[in-house]
Amino acid sequence: MSESVTLTEKILRKAGDLNVDLIGAIPAESLDEFAGMEVNWNKWGTMKRPSDYVPDARSVVVVAEVAFGPTIDLAVRRRGGWNYVGYKPLEVDTWEIGGYLQSLGYEAKVLPSHLSQKNMARLAGMGSFGKNTLLLHPEAGPYLRIDGIVTDATLEYDQPDETDLCGDCKRCLQACPTGALQPYRIDAEKCLVHQRLHGPDDTQYARLLEQYSPRLAPGAYIMCQHCQQVCPVGEEPPWERS
Ligand code: SF4
Ligand code: SF4
């Protein structure tokens, strides 16, 4: 490869070979302000800094996949935890890019679970927060799966685009079956995703869970996505087109 090709260009080419939907990069320290925030969904404690993963962290590479369709958000119980099947293609691509960085001599920590994925994608210009607290991409709407790689490589960085894509819309706030949403805020304890993952079986939400988070097989559930499905931002999801 020509010496004039920058490291950022090499990573973009690698992502192109892998057919990655979206890729960007942000300075590592831009995620420091979220350290200490609770990791709501998995009760995994609090957010960390990129330098907790790579001591000389300079950048975070953000990798995202557009994931239309309710079956994508499938959670399967395994060894006392939950496995998100729909994330596997994204994880494979992220490992490939992390391995590529390592092959070039850089340190690269793949899938740093205690960094704010939505904020890393926002800072990389992949969208802005919607009232449903999800990241809204102008074309993919609220259907991004996001992961990252912390590295000591210095890259060319993307810029956030804070365009408000919600306007006067309140569809998700009105549609949430448990009233978990306020504009740009979520009561995680009320959300059916949290209830499915962590709630007791005899929860007051049992009937709603059956409707919005159905069981496909023992230990395999579709997560509630109602606040995504009503969102008008982005292309019409394929299951609505027929
Ligand atoms: S996932 Fe379901 S329960 Fe949770 S905020 Fe969205 S609509 Fe409400
Ligand atoms: S449903 Fe409407 S208010 Fe909710 S995130 Fe989408 S555009 Fe924003």
Encode pLDDT of 164-193 as tens digits.
999 999 999 999 999 999 999 999 889 999
In a domain, 238, yes or no: no
Q: Is 192 in the pocket of ligand 1 (CB under 6 A)?
A: yes
Whether residue 31 is found in the same domain as residue 145: yes
In a domain, 209, yes or no: yes
How far is it, in rounded angstroms, from Cα 156 to Cα 128? 21
User: Are the CB atoms for 135 and 129 separated by under 8 Å?
Assistant: yes
Q: Please, which residues have CB within 8 angstroms of residue 104's CB and are 6 or more apart in sequence?
A: 7, 10, 153
pLDDT above 80 (res 236): no
Ligand nearest to the CA of 133: 2
In a domain, 157, yes or no: no
Instruction: Please calculate the CA angle 130-164-194 and round it to the nearest 5 degrees.
Output: 5
Ligand nearest to the CA of 130: 2
Please state, rounded to an integer, the average pLDDT across all residues of the chain. Answer: 90
pLDDT above 90 (res 100): yes
pLDDT cut 70: percent of the chain above it: 91
- How large is the greatest C-alpha to C-alpha distance in the chain, in angstroms? 62
Give pTM, 2 decimals: 0.91
pLDDT above 60 (res 237): no
pLDDT at residue 18, as a whole number: 96
| Mean pLDDT value of segment 67-87 | 80
Q: Count of residues for the chain?
A: 242
Distance 208 CA to ligand 1 centre (A): 11
Q: Give the Å distances, CA to CA, from 192 to 49, 100, 176.
A: 29, 38, 9
In a domain, 158, yes or no: no
pLDDT at residue 35, as a whole number: 93
**Minimum-distance ligand 1 atom for the alpha carbon of 190:** 3
Closest by alpha carbon to 84, among 117, 51, 59, 62?
117
In this predicted model, what pLDDT tens digit does every residue of 4-57 receive, in sequence order?
A: 789 999 999 999 999 999 999 999 999 999 999 887 665 668 899 999 999 999
Distance 228 CA to ligand 2 centre (A): 8
Distance 226 CA to ligand 1 centre (A): 6
In this predicted model, what pLDDT tens digit does every residue of 198-220 receive, in sequence order?
A: 877 667 899 999 999 999 998 99
Whether residue 106 is found in the same domain as residue 19: yes
Q: Which amino acid is at 173?
A: L
In a domain, 128, yes or no: yes
Pairing of strands 59-66, 22-27: antiparallel
pLDDT at residue 239, as a whole number: 47
pLDDT at residue 111, as a whole number: 85
Whether residue 44 is found in the same domain as residue 137: yes
Whether residue 49 is found in the same domain as residue 88: yes
The confidence band for 68, taking pLDDT boundaries of 50, 70 and 90, is: confident
Tokens representing 164 are: 């408000």
How far is it, in rounded angstroms, from Cα 8 to Cα 138? 24
Closest by alpha carbon to 130, among 154, 162, 176, 98?
162
Q: Which amino acid is at 94?
A: T
Ligand nearest to the CA of 164: 2
pLDDT at residue 96, as a whole number: 97
Evaluate the CA torsion angle 220, 225, 229, 234 in order and state its sign.
Answer: negative
pLDDT at residue 4, as a whole number: 72
Whether residue 118 is found in the same domain as residue 14: yes
Whether residue 14 is found in the same domain as residue 132: yes
What is the number of structural domains in the chain? Answer: 2
pLDDT cut 90: percent of the chain above it: 71
- Domain end point (choices 117, 151, 185): 151
| Mean pLDDT value of segment 216-239 | 85
pLDDT at residue 202, as a whole number: 67
pLDDT at residue 85, as a whole number: 85
pLDDT at residue 79, as a whole number: 84
Domain extent at residue 12: 7-151
pLDDT at residue 241, as a whole number: 45
